[in-house]
């Protein structure tokens, strides 16, 4: 009989992987509609699984919240690479428009997570690193092309985006107006004679 401690780990069953993804997608939808305090029963119902299946994949509410948070920040970070075929300014603008929507919707999720973990938790550190890396790449590309202000830094832009998300809340028109103002300030200006 083989020693279980040295046996290679088994691949998860296809249905288990599918259920994990279904629960994660359902949680995103339920938390977006009802806030992060929405019931886990509603998540299980939307995913088409029993509550026991949900808890097998995510033993606590915190595990599910973190999984949604990680999935979302990884997606917005990957999106920066997806936009690389666009001209530098267009890629930066498209990503910032997506990022401000991301920031607005993830604020409540982060607040709920902060009831169980602190701001220095690894999940928040990883999120900041991934988003900073994506923002730096897009901004650097736009600056190299001469279409974004040379003195701009991602740290400043990230704070502005966070401020827009906090100030405008659910008012999509105000979010767009405020972002347009930021983008006007970020665009490289022709040299004055």
Domain range summary for the chain, segments of one domain joined by +? 13-59, 61-186
Average pLDDT of 84-107?
Answer: 90
Q: Contacts for 108-116 with beta carbons within 8 Å, 24 or more apart?
A: 108/35, 108/36, 109/31, 109/36, 109/65, 109/68, 109/69, 109/72, 110/69, 111/36, 112/35, 112/36, 112/37, 112/65, 113/36, 113/62, 113/65, 113/66, 113/69, 116/62
Q: Report the chain's terminal Cα–Cα distance, integer Å.
A: 84
3-state secondary structure of 54: helix
Q: Count Cα neighbours of 132 within 13 Å in the Cβ-side half-sphere.
A: 10
Average pLDDT of 34-62?
Answer: 90
- Which has the higher per-residue pLDDT, 17 or 148? 148
For the domain 61-186, what is the CATH code?
A: 1.10.357.10
pLDDT at 150 over 90: yes
The confidence score (pLDDT) of residue 3 equals 56
Fold annotation for 13-59: Arc Repressor Mutant, subunit A (1.10.10)
Tokens 């990680």, located at residue: 70
Lowest-confidence region among 11-15, 66-70, 103-107, 131-135: 11-15
Lowest-confidence region among 7-21, 28-42, 85-99, 147-161: 7-21
| Mean per-residue pLDDT over the chain, rounded | 87
Q: State the pLDDT confidence band at 165, using cuts at 50, 70 and 90.
A: confident
| C-beta separation of 81 from 138 below 8 A | no
Tokens 């966070």, located at residue: 162
- How far apart are alpha carbons 188 and 80 in whole angstroms? 20
pLDDT at 193 over 60: no
Q: What is the pLDDT of residues 60-83, one digit of tens each?
A: 988 998 899 889 889 999 999 999
Average pLDDT of 18-43?
Answer: 87
Count CB neighbours of 134 within 10 A: 21
The confidence score (pLDDT) of residue 6 equals 65
| C-beta separation of 51 from 44 below 8 A | yes
Average pLDDT of 105-132?
Answer: 82
pTM value > 0.85? no
């Amino acid at each position: 009989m083989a020693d279980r401690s040295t046996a290679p780990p088994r691949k998860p069953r296809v249905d288990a992987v599918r259920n994990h993804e279904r629960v994660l997608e359902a949680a995103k939808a339920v938390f977006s509609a009802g806030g992060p305090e929405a019931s886990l029963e509603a998540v299980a119902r939307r995913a088409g699984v029993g509550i026991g299946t949900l808890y097998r994949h995510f033993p606590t509410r915190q595990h599910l919240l973190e999984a949604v948070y990680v999935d979302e920040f990884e997606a917005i970070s990957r999106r920066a690479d997806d936009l690389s075929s666009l001209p530098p300014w267009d890629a930066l603008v498209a990503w910032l428009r997506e990022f401000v929507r991301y920031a607005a919707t993830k604020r409540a999720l982060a607040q709920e997570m902060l009831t169980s973990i602190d701001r220095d938790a690894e999940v928040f550190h990883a999120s900041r690193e991934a988003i900073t890396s994506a923002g730096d790449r897009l901004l650097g590309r736009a600056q190299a092309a001469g279409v974004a202000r040379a003195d701009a830094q991602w740290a400043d832009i990230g704070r502005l985006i966070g401020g827009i998300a906090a100030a405008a809340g659910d008012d999509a028109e105000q979010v767009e107006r405020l972002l347009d103002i930021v983008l006007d300030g970020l665009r490289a200006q022709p040299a004055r004679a």
